Amino acid sequence: MARVIEHRKVLILRKQGKSYSQINRELGIPKSTLSDWLCKLPLSKSQIRLLRDFNQQRIEKCRNTKRKKLERRLLEKYKIQKKKIGVLSKRELFIAGLFLYWGEGGKSSRNVLSLCNTDPSVIKFTLFWINKCLHVSKKKIHINLHLYSDMDITKETNYWSRVLGIGKDQFTKPYIKKSKKTDLDQKSFGHGTCSLYVCNTSLKENILMTIKVISDIYGEISTILV
């Protein structure tokens, strides 16, 4: 009798458009049994379409849940690291800028201190470092943009001028690449590449030699550790 009742429940759920998986979760009846009982009761095209849409909704819901969990986890880590770091001293900021320049800054020219990047935050920190740690007036800092052929020059110049707080009269004529931004990763190249530079031979030599000092000292230490 119990099996008959289960069979009736299965038929009712199937007529409501439920899938084997949904019926299995609700009643606990194996899919192999459902296949036998429902072989002559297939779902209509509209019911299958509804199930497919429902599955997409579940997938999106799952993605949103995971994204929110990730955001909460990263926020907690951010708070912890912010508390650990605190406010950096002028010396710490100077050293941080040195390592940034070591990795990203221009090395070939003897008299130009320059750094290029697509990330506005990197350029903003470099500007802060040159101005506050190297004591270079913002008026002596120049900007050159590398843009793509489908980008609006005026719009991008206004963007970088606003973000950096530097007048447009300190921008040189931008370099326009033949390729298009739409052919590339929009997030990475949203506003082109910004090159920040200062013409000062003595300053450039000081920075390069300071980086060399760090390289030599820690190169020797790493050899000893090995």
Residue 69 falls inside a structural domain: no
CB 134 within 8 A of CB 203: yes
Q: What is the pTM of this model?
A: 0.69
Work out the mean pLDDT of the chain and round it to a whole number.
87
Q: How many folded domains does the chain comprise?
A: 2
pLDDT of 183 strictly over 80: no
Q: Give me the pLDDT at residue 133, please.
A: 96
Residue 77 falls inside a structural domain: no
Of residues 106 and 55, which shows the higher confidence score?
106
Q: Give me the pLDDT at residue 226, please.
A: 47
Q: Which residues of 172-184 are buried (b: 16+ CB within 10 A; e: fewer)?
A: eebeebeeebeee
Q: Among the three residues 28, 48, 63, which one is the final residue of a domain in this structure?
A: 63
Residue 133 falls inside a structural domain: yes
Q: Which residues of 45-61 are buried (b: 16+ CB within 10 A; e: fewer)?
A: eebeeebeeeeeeeeee
| Same domain (yes/no): 30, 98 | no
- Minimal CA–CA distance to 165: which of 202, 126, 130, 124? 124
| Same domain (yes/no): 103, 184 | yes
Q: Which residues contact 182 (CB under 8 A, 6 or more apart)?
A: 150
| Same domain (yes/no): 221, 110 | yes
Residue 74 falls inside a structural domain: no
Q: Among the three residues 63, 79, 110, which one is the final residue of a domain in this structure?
A: 63
Q: Give me the pLDDT at residue 57, please.
A: 67
Q: Give me the pLDDT at residue 121, please.
A: 96
| Same domain (yes/no): 152, 218 | yes
| Same domain (yes/no): 198, 151 | yes
Residue 72 falls inside a structural domain: no
Q: Give me the pLDDT at residue 32, please.
A: 83
| Same domain (yes/no): 98, 190 | yes
Quote the domain boundaries for residue 157: 90-225
pLDDT (tens digit per residue) in 2-24:
677 888 888 888 888 888 888 88
Residue 109 falls inside a structural domain: yes
